[in-house]
Structure 1
Amino acid sequence: MADAHTNRTDRFRAEAASQGLPPEEVEEWIRALRPAVYLAEGGDGPLVARIGGDPRLPEGVPRPSEPFVAAVDLAALPPGATGLPLPADGHLLLFSGTEVRGPGRQEPDAVLYVPAGTPTLPSPSGDGAREPYLPRELRTVWHQPSAPMPESFALDRWGDFPEDEQSELAEELDDAWTRTGGGHRPPWTLQLGGRPVSPQNDPVHDARTPGDTDDWVLLATWRCGDDVTELDSGVAHWVIRHRDAAAGRFDRVHRYVEMA
């Protein structure tokens, strides 16, 4: 993995140099990369995540207010591949509806952590609730560096109002990264860690309030797929402060839902 990352960044440096891009900004782009894991259907590997259906919850834990999205087996992830301070085992349960949701709202039951060995029971949805999402098994895993969206890079690098030339440079860096294979993301259903891919706005940026210096990170993104007819190319994001993830405070997650 380290060799693959070095080869990718070396190709990017060479491509950027051939385009005459400033070396200091090339290195800033590389520093902005974050490790990410992508999960997809297919393959014959171990079950890493289960999408849809009904969740299994510890006895006495009330079912969250939004529909169940996924249960991720943290022990099945490559160690350190998400770049997040997650528990080494147990299951991370994600919940989200399909109503478009913008920034600035904490969702105490959007993510639940179930420690390994905890007895659980199926928790069917009640009368009048939305039908469960289509059940799917995710057994295919990729892990690779994830680059910021150009708009996000420009905001992080030059502040809230980057000049046109700076925004154009961010686009050129993104193009160079893509041309050398760095921008390729395999077909995926669930992303853990890394940088957001968003049809609208960066949810990590949107979680920040004025003067907020906390290190917000992407916990997960779900590409809803064609079976979620309420959304056109819909995605749900869960973002969290790095320190809250390290402390297991998943009740402090912010959730966003958007569509193209």
Structure 2
Amino acid sequence: MSDDSTNEDRFRAEAASRDLPADETEAWIRAALPAVYIGGGEAPGGQPVARLGGNPMLPRDTPDPPSPFIASLDCAALPLGATGLPFPSEGHLLLFADPADRRQGPAPGEVVYVPAGSATAARPVGERAPFTEKRTARSYQRLEPQSHESFTVDRWGPAPDDEHFELAEELDDAWRDVHGLPPGWDLQVGGHTIVLQNDPVHWAREQDAGDWALLATWRCGDDVTELDGGVVHWVIRREDLAALRFDRVHRYTDMA
């Protein structure tokens, strides 16, 4: 039996011990999505899963991205099917964002795909000093639930009752008692978004219909002073990800 299956059974038992409805417990499990978390350790001399900060490695004919460089993800280092998203099997995905820019929505140029074997060179981007560079080889997978607020809206509609929010919060508490919180990480790939103020996947659906999903989340480092406990999300339609249409990405910046 897989760890996820074992933990799901433990969650069912925990929810039952709290007299939570079995049908809502199953709905909570069905809504959870697989995610990969990257960070928490350097990769000296090893092959990094991701590189954060510094200057991006870009092909010569790629236009200058509009925002500072955040991270480069090695797609080949993602375990097959680990996120449930149609990621390319090789190449690098480069993420860009300006934490001081609180605009939400379409962000053409802020995600750049570099196919494997492309000739690249380090290139400064913009006037801001690069973020602290870190290469990390540490990653782990886990199943992540929706935030209880987002689950409530998806389950019971845009105007749910207070008792629905309370039930979802109890389900979330039971889940966290079994699974705990994700340990230290810098970059999340796939899964559900951290909701501090607003759910960016819900927001994207309201602006532009489609099967939106979280592409990645960056948890801002110590050299970001513009945000208090800030995160940056990039969301994309699944069909656009499969077609490598990263010009259609939306970016959302949030803070506690």
Percentage of pairs with the same residue: 55
Instruction: Tell me the equivalent position of 2:39.
Output: 40
Instruction: Tell me the equivalent position of 1:174.
Output: 172
Instruction: Tell me the equivalent position of 1:240.
Output: 236
The question of whether the paired residues in 1 share the 8 Å contact of 2:193 and 2:199 is answered with: yes
The question of whether the paired residues in 1 share the 8 Å contact of 2:42 and 2:135 is answered with: no
Do structure 1's residue 81 and structure 2's residue 78 form an aligned pair? no
The letter of the residue matching 1:184 is L
Q: 1:192 to 1:210 in 2, by over 3 A?
A: closer
Q: How does 1:149-168 map to 2 (within 5 A)?
A: 149-168=147-166
Q: 1:193 to 1:38 in 2, by over 3 A?
A: same
After TM superposition, give the deviation of residue 101 of structure 1 in Å: 2.4
Do structure 1's residue 231 and structure 2's residue 227 form an aligned pair? yes
The question of whether the paired residues in 2 share the 8 Å contact of 1:68 and 1:132 is answered with: yes
Do structure 1's residue 119 and structure 2's residue 119 form an aligned pair? yes
Judge which range, 8-17 or 183-192, deviates more: 183-192
- 1 CA distance for matches of 2:62 and 2:208? 36
Normalising by the residue count of structure 1, what TM-score does the alignment of the two structures yield? Answer: 0.94
After TM superposition, give the deviation of residue 93 of structure 1 in Å: 0.3
The question of whether the paired residues in 1 share the 8 Å contact of 2:40 and 2:184 is answered with: no
- 1 CA distance for matches of 2:31 and 2:103? 24
After TM superposition, give the deviation of residue 211 of structure 1 in Å: 8.5
SS in 2 for 1:64: coil
Judge which range, 89-98 or 54-63, deviates more: 54-63
Q: How does 1:91-170 map to 2 (within 5 A)?
A: 91-103=92-104, 105-126=105-126, 129-170=127-168
Instruction: Tell me the equivalent position of 2:199.
Output: 202
The question of whether the paired residues in 1 share the 8 Å contact of 2:188 and 2:218 is answered with: yes
The question of whether the paired residues in 2 share the 8 Å contact of 1:21 and 1:173 is answered with: yes
Do structure 1's residue 219 and structure 2's residue 218 form an aligned pair? no
Instruction: Tell me the equivalent position of 2:25.
Output: 26
Q: What count of residue pairs does the alignment treat as equivalent?
A: 254
The question of whether the paired residues in 2 share the 8 Å contact of 1:41 and 1:136 is answered with: no
- 2 CA distance for matches of 1:76 and 1:29? 29
SS in 1 for 2:106: coil
Instruction: Tell me the equivalent position of 1:51.
Output: 52
Instruction: Tell me the equivalent position of 1:192.
Output: 189
Instruction: Please list the CA deviations of residues 59-107 of structure 1 after superposition, one character each: whole Å capped at 9, or x if unmatched.
Output: 111110100000000101111112110100000000000125254x211
Instruction: Tell me the equivalent position of 1:10.
Output: 9
The question of whether the paired residues in 2 share the 8 Å contact of 1:83 and 1:193 is answered with: yes
- 2 CA distance for matches of 1:250 and 1:72? 14
SS in 2 for 1:78: coil
Instruction: Tell me the equivalent position of 2:249.
Output: 253
- 2 CA distance for matches of 1:258 and 1:23? 34
The letter of the residue matching 1:54 is N
- 2 CA distance for matches of 1:43 and 1:169? 40
The letter of the residue matching 2:57 is R
- 1 CA distance for matches of 2:205 and 2:197? 16
The letter of the residue matching 1:110 is E
The question of whether the paired residues in 2 share the 8 Å contact of 1:100 and 1:256 is answered with: no
Judge which range, 160-169 or 224-233, deviates more: 224-233
Normalising by the residue count of structure 2, what TM-score does the alignment of the two structures yield? Answer: 0.95
- 2 CA distance for matches of 1:148 and 1:11? 18
Query: Unaligned stretches of 5+ in structure 1?
Result: none
The question of whether the paired residues in 2 share the 8 Å contact of 1:101 and 1:255 is answered with: no
Instruction: Please list the CA deviations of residues 99-153 of structure 1 after superposition, one character each: whole Å capped at 9, or x if unmatched.
Output: 25254x2111010100100111111235xx1111111112110101011000000
